[in-house]
Structure 1
Amino acid sequence: MSTRFPVVVVEGVAIPMRGGALLRADIYLPNRRGPDDKGHPVPALLLRTPYDRKDRDRVALARALSQTGYAVVVQDCRGRFGSDGKFSFALTEAEDGYDTVEWIAQQAWCDGQVGTFGYSYSGSLQSALATLNPPHLRAMWVHEGWSDAHSESVRQGGAFELRWMAWMLYAAATDSNLPDTVRERLTQFDVREILRTGRVPKRGQGPLALAPTHDQRFWELFTAGIHSAVWERRELNIRRYWVEHADVPTLYSGGWYDSYTRATIRNFLGLSALKRNPQYLWMGPWTHGWREVETDTAPISFGGEAYTPLLPLLRQWFDYWLKGQGSLPWTAPVRYFLMGGAGGDVDSDGRLRHGGRFLEATTWPPPESQPKRWHLSSDGMLLDRPSLRPPGTATFRFDPTNPVPTVGGNLSSLSYIDPMPGIANPPPTFDRLRPVVPAGPHDQTTSPDIFHARPPFGPLYVRPDVLVFTTPPLTRPLILAGPLMVVLYVASSALDTDWTAKIIDWYPPTPVHPWGYALNLTDGIQRLRFRQGYDHEQPYQPHTVTKVEIDLYPVANLFQPGHRLRLDVSSSNFPRFDINPNTGLPLGSLLGMVAARNSVMMTDEHPSHVVGWGFEPD
């Protein structure tokens, strides 16, 4: 068992940035020689956060790591909580991170080696500072960070992830530069009131108008659909700066139901190809967050292997790279959780047993995975032999005032602030965040508990605006492990519209689930005006056939015999993504909504299909 040291905490240390701003940090030092020891040089670990350095979970983690012989620096980002300056989403973070790393390396208590860790925004901050290649950065653990926010984190397929409207409201409600009265008003506002309208308030008219800096930044991102200079900053576009990125050992980790699934894998693959130091990938069946629980993805159970305490792995990772001690948590470059394989019965907590296990591979997708294709058929089938496909067209009416509700998926930060009326001293704002919709795996059916769902409730596939295509019941196991793309040949009556796709593991009917259990695995969206790329908008001529490619998040799932691979196609997934009003007007325009008649073609000339990487296990 490793030695545990008492910890000395130096609070509120002012770290100077270029330009003169002082960012505050708490520094946790292992006391190796007695009560006055603050100078024994040890490796340092840096966590930068916009969520308050004094949050109890961050304090506990910093103390635990420092007890094992690390100096741990937990720093508030610029303009957050104790730090100087004004905060604006994903600005100045690369330079501030670089300056912090180099300041740490010069302190008497640091031996010149600095590692970074953190998840979500803190994960992205690590990558941003690494693009400036600080000389004393030695190792990183990036848990759930973006790669190109324009294509898989803030926007996706040209659509906007509405979680960022909720996130900006939280950021404003905790902005120390705003008067207490303004922050209090913002904590009392419920973002669901906006979402129920289906529209974003006009610039300067919603609650963010009380925080002009945040309002301006939100509208800048909300209306910038083209991949313009707005998206080229280091803080938002890591992959543009891969060549300049520090060449240090890095572990990229995330979950199959996380907001940054594709980004995590993209950074791993891109930097593995460019750097000499090893890069590692670890993917589990988790939603968003840094947790030491099996999963918070009720009502699904993935089994005991899904439980992975992170603190021992953090320590083991940095001990190896910064202290030269022990061994790596695993040796293969890729460790991924293959979901599925359990019996599908219900456990004592009422959760469906889906199961799964961790596997190792030399690369991603795993070498045995190869592209497989399924063709959409007019009779609602997914067929691996196009010759069996009856040709035809499937059409539905997309009404933007009645969008398909989000039921689970790759979500985070889509939360409202619980006002907690009647409580004199409510907990910190971060602890009062409550999800608007559930994240992760869920049966694709609606109920009164699902936000924006309307009666009659029931399976999503009974909605007239959801097209469903399924394979026959499988006779052999099928593994999907890799990227997925849905290629559709479409036509619309509108000047612009969206196309959504969702891949589902459809369980056969049981007495508990008479409709079968429709377990969502991954989804995606494509806005028609961006069908030819994101460097320009391509006008659409109504009623003409055109091709759209919907790039879904990668997945690893075992489909058991008797299950079906199912594809759902529609034109909305709300409030995960903003609703396309179908008008063709500039992004952010609030001049009405029109219904669209949308069609999918399935002919020899227009062969709509799914491409997924997978294999049949022995």
Structure 2
Amino acid sequence: MRKIVLLLLLLPVFSIAQNADSVWIVQNYIKKEVYIPMRDGIKLFTSIYIPKDNTEKHPILMTRTPYSCAPYGEHEYRKFWRNHYKTYLKENFIMVIQDVRGKWMSEGEFVNIRPYNPNKKSKNDVDEASDTYDTIDWLIHNIENNNGNVGVFGISYPGFYTAMAALSNHPALKAVSPQAPVTDWFMGDDFHHNGAFFAMDAFAFYSSFGKPRPKPTTVGPTPFNYPIKDNYRFYLTTGALPNLTKLLGDSVAFWNDLMNHPNYTQWWQERNDRNFMQHILPTTASLVVGGLFDAEDCFGAWNLYKAIELKAKNNNKLVMGPWYHGQWASGDGTHLGNIYFDSNTADWYATNIEIPYFNYYLKGTGSIDKIAEANIFFSGENKWHQFNVWPPANIQTSKLYLQQNGKLSFEPAKTFNISFSEYTSDPAKPVPYTDGVHEYRTREYMTDDQRFAATRPDVLVYETPTLTNDVTLAGPLTAHLNVSISTTDADFVVKLIDVFPEDFEYNNSSTYPMGGYEMLVRGEVMRGRYRNSFEKPEPFKPNTPTIVQYTLPDVAHTFKKGHKIMVQIQSSWFPLVDRNPQQFVDIYHAKDSDFKKANIRIYNNDSYLLLPVLPNNQ
């Protein structure tokens, strides 16, 4: 539900200037609501905002969404004036928002992350790519004064529909921008990370979004009424996943799909749009945008860009800023939680990248020479950098070793002896993902202070000495853990943390005690049963050393001189991630009695992180 609210109410209301913009837009645009027919006869509800200016032909910029093209009614205008989208209207773009098939006012059946069909043989073979093609074709032939150039963009689930648009292959489609795109709901986006189920997000989302919609409507689903407003206590009290299923009943079809597809089988793989990026036309440019600290789809942005780069032959670019989910469209990119970025990164992005990008490809004006292949903001340093390839070609992979007595070093121990650090993971007392009491999952946890976790006996803490030089990381991390567990399954959470100096403080009005702050730079979970295969999980042999290795999403961060690097390791991250019973059972149908304590050992010196270190001054 948070994601729906974000995309409908994302942007703060600005002041008098914004009111002037709203008046200007209403005076200079007309709105039309139409049903656009698809090849199989289904009609999709579409809102079209058309400039009254007839002195030139105008480009079309479209978003396809399952979150509603509201407000409905031709005299009710979408609040484009709340962020940089107002610039597109000042530039006389034709703005189009469409309810996707089966949602809100559109006809047809909705299918979550509907698989792409590259082998359509009849008019009844439809997918999101064909719906986009048919929509574009109707628009360019029926909207007066359009210049025949179409762009598509969208954030989150609309980012998925934007990637599908890129596969439509309509010749009028000149540019797309998938932003925080949903790509793979098993490997890293939204509802699973490396096979571990993000139950809190999935339940919060599908308990409203997943409710059936028998016929077109302008009325949205009602959210779930949580009987306990502390999400840690709610999910712990509710217990095993079948108890959540009972709360939903039988009507939420995709929740049942989640429960019945526990492994990365063909069912999941055909819903991974990255598998099909070779079908993008060379004439369709792409600009993939995401947030370094996006709690929902950080994985999607990094990895969709890489898939397009690997498989397609188009002009493909990447932007990653220091943002939560959709923050680049909020108008305020100055900070996230307690961490400040020294500038308004959202405004910089809109002015220097997104608006010039669509002006160039859809209007033929301006230049994109200043938009590099990869435009990446480095937190810590708080500066934008441009690269001609990502990850940068000159990164040096370095091992950061976990050593005895909580030490962390770029040098292996001089005497290699097999020692271990040990903790007990108790599903009855899981490690919280953030401090404090919250009803809904926070977006700020991605940069949260980790001092609350460092004091727990079930969290291992490793730390370097104070850094004498800056250390900059640019690319994906790999965790290589040599572990043993007393049971047959466990999760492993690795957190990379920037420890601030004790005398650190911001030169602003921040009142949070930043001295000694432990900033989460990147955290990721691995469900241990998938250590060798996501398709065919395997139990652990109790008390037997076993390698667990996995990749964390890319990092762009500078650990400044005077800071320290910390690594925390734990086996729960609750209720962000569902609890592992720590037995090799079907977790989606487990019983409360299946949950067991596990004694977990991490073997020092043979466990490390592979870090992508960027040489200084790059």
Q: 1:169 corresponds to which letter in structure 2?
A: S
Does 2:276 match 1:241? yes
Aligned to 2:300: 263
Secondary structure of the residue aligned to 2:406 is coil
Moved more, 198-207 or 301-310: 198-207
Measure, in 2, the Cα distance between the counterparts of 1:302 and 1:542.
46
Moved more, 245-254 or 464-473: 245-254
Distance 1:307 1:329, change over 3 A: farther
Does 2:81 match 1:81? no
Question: Given the alignment, which residue of 181, 203, 208 partners 1:165?
Answer: 203
Deviations 1:138-163 (A, max 9, x none): 10111111333321113211101231
Measure, in 1, the Cα distance between the counterparts of 2:560 and 2:418.
29
Question: Given the alignment, which residue of 402, 406, 412 partners 1:376?
Answer: 402
Measure, in 2, the Cα distance between the counterparts of 1:218 and 1:384.
44
Does 2:525 match 1:522? no
Measure, in 2, the Cα distance between the counterparts of 1:544 and 1:487.
16
Q: Indicate the percent of aligned positions where both proteins have the same amino acid.
A: 26
Does 2:336 match 1:297? yes
Distance 1:185 1:314, change over 3 A: closer
Check conservation: 1:17, 1:100, Cα contact below 8 A.
Answer: yes
**Displacement of 1:511:** 8.6
Does 2:449 match 1:443? yes
Measure, in 1, the Cα distance between the counterparts of 2:31 and 2:238.
47
**Displacement of 1:194:** 4.5
Aligned to 1:612: 611
Q: 1:357 corresponds to which letter in structure 2?
A: K
Deviations 1:117-157 (A, max 9, x none): 11111111111232343333210111111333321113211
Question: Given the alignment, which residue of 317, 342, 361 partners 1:280?
Answer: 317
Aligned to 2:554: 554
Moved more, 216-225 or 563-572: 216-225
Question: Given the alignment, which residue of 284, 305, 316 partners 2:356?
Answer: 316
Secondary structure of the residue aligned to 1:152 is coil
Deviations 1:263-294 (A, max 9, x none): 21222223224433321111111111132102
Check conservation: 1:172, 1:186, Cα contact below 8 A.
Answer: no
Deviations 1:555-600 (A, max 9, x none): 1111112211111111111222211111211130231211111111
Question: Given the alignment, which residue of 368, 371, 377 partners 1:328?
Answer: 368
More helix by share: 2
Question: Given the alignment, which residue of 406, 412, 429 partners 1:386?
Answer: 412
Measure, in 2, the Cα distance between the counterparts of 1:476 and 1:444.
23
Measure, in 1, the Cα distance between the counterparts of 2:67 and 2:455.
41
Moved more, 131-140 or 52-61: 52-61
1:353-432 alignment, distance < 5 Å: 356-388=382-414, 391-407=418-434
- TM, length-normalised to structure 1: 0.82
Aligned to 1:45: 61
Check conservation: 2:501, 2:563, Cα contact below 8 A.
Answer: yes
Check conservation: 1:198, 1:579, Cα contact below 8 A.
Answer: no
Check conservation: 2:262, 2:588, Cα contact below 8 A.
Answer: no
Distance 1:184 1:47, change over 3 A: closer
Aligned to 1:542: 542
Q: 1:306 corresponds to which letter in structure 2?
A: T
Does 2:345 match 1:306? yes
Measure, in 1, the Cα distance between the counterparts of 2:368 and 2:136.
24
Aligned residues: 554
**Displacement of 1:115:** 0.7
Aligned to 2:21: none
Aligned to 2:132: 97
Secondary structure of the residue aligned to 2:547 is strand
Measure, in 2, the Cα distance between the counterparts of 1:179 and 1:308.
35
Task: Flag structure 1 segments of 5+ consecutive residues without an equivalent.
Answer: 35-39, 342-355, 409-414, 417-433, 446-458
**Displacement of 1:365:** 1.8
Question: Given the alignment, which residue of 600, 603, 607 partners 1:598?
Answer: 600
**Displacement of 1:167:** 1.2
Measure, in 1, the Cα distance between the counterparts of 2:371 and 2:219.
53
Measure, in 1, the Cα distance between the counterparts of 2:568 and 2:253.
36
Distance 1:66 1:585, change over 3 A: same
Deviations 1:586-618 (A, max 9, x none): 130231211111111125xxx111101013415
What value does the CA root-mean-square deviation take over the aligned residues?
A: 3.1
**Displacement of 1:186:** 3.9
Secondary structure of the residue aligned to 1:304 is coil
Measure, in 1, the Cα distance between the counterparts of 2:220 and 2:312.
47
Does 2:514 match 1:479? no
Check conservation: 1:291, 1:309, Cα contact below 8 A.
Answer: no
Distance 1:81 1:441, change over 3 A: same
Q: 1:44 corresponds to which letter in structure 2?
A: I
Task: Flag structure 2 segments of 5+ consecutive residues without an equivalent.
Answer: 1-23, 72-76, 115-126, 506-512
Check conservation: 1:285, 1:295, Cα contact below 8 A.
Answer: no
Distance 1:528 1:325, change over 3 A: same
Measure, in 1, the Cα distance between the counterparts of 2:371 and 2:442.
39
Aligned to 1:197: 237
Deviations 1:417-473 (A, max 9, x none): xxxxxxxxxxxxxxxxx645644311113xxxxxxxxxxxxx311101101111111
